Amino acid sequence: MIKVYGMGLSFPTNRVRMCLNAIGLNHEFIIINPLVGETQTDVYLKINPSGKIPAIDDDGFYLFESNAIMKYLCRKHESDFYPKDIIKQAHVDKWLDFINAHLNNSLIKVFFNKIVAGLINAEADKKSMEEGYVFLKRFMTIIEKQLGTTPYLVDDNMTIADIALLATVDPFEVIDIDISDYPNVAKWASKLTDLPFYTKMHGSYKETFDSVITG
């Protein structure tokens, strides 16, 4: 059985968990918390030398980086969530890169300074957090426009690009971003969060967040 190392607050970890659920693969979720140094042990560093999450162990094959993991799982199990058609695949790759470079990196700035800094007694960088909010607003308008023209990021079918996006907008509520400001995204997200690949992971990100923060 595939082992997934990560935690429920990790957006990249949740990409992998949703992908596994969407494909229909049973897996063991091993909670490992980087905030208390659990990713820096010798054992874990053999799995992921960067000391970050997520990572998977597929019967002795170790892989890290969430997008690489999702592509691997789809290819191995011949899932159309990563299309074989070269043009559609290029569009999926485009959105995966866009989400990572522009949305996820901006989200990390906000999430770290608004949430994580307080948990690890670090000083928040307000300027970095404000920049994160500005960039999220800027690049979410592009996502909003795209989802006004197609039901999913790539035409009419869900792909791992949608999974990556869903994991990224999932924490918006806890960082005080109102997803209803992006009605096309809100409609798309509402549709996906009702599906088993999401509900099998959690009821909502805020539910997971509250359970972790309150212990």
Which CATH number fits the domain 86-214, given the four candidates 1.20.1050.10, 1.20.140.10, 3.40.50.2300, 3.10.620.30? Answer: 1.20.1050.10
Cα–chain-centroid distance for residue 138? 19
Asked if the domains 2-76 and 86-214 are classified in one and the same CATH topology, the answer is no
Residues with active-site annotation: 10
Output b/e per residue, 71-96; b: 16+ Cβ within 10 A. Answer: bbbbeeeebebbbeeeebeebbbebb
- The reported pLDDT for the residue numbered 215 is 64
The fold of 2-76 is Glutaredoxin (3.40.30)
- The reported pLDDT for the residue numbered 213 is 79
Delimit the domains of the chain by residue range. 2-76, 86-214
Tens of pLDDT along the chain (215 residues) come to 999 999 999 999 999 999 999 999 999 999 999 989 999 999 999 999 999 999 999 999 999 999 999 999 999 999 999 999 999 999 999 999 999 999 999 999 999 999 999 888 899 999 999 999 999 999 999 999 999 999 999 989 999 999 999 999 999 999 999 999 999 999 999 999 999 999 999 999 999 999 887 76
Report if pTM > 0.85.
Answer: yes
- The reported pLDDT for the residue numbered 212 is 83
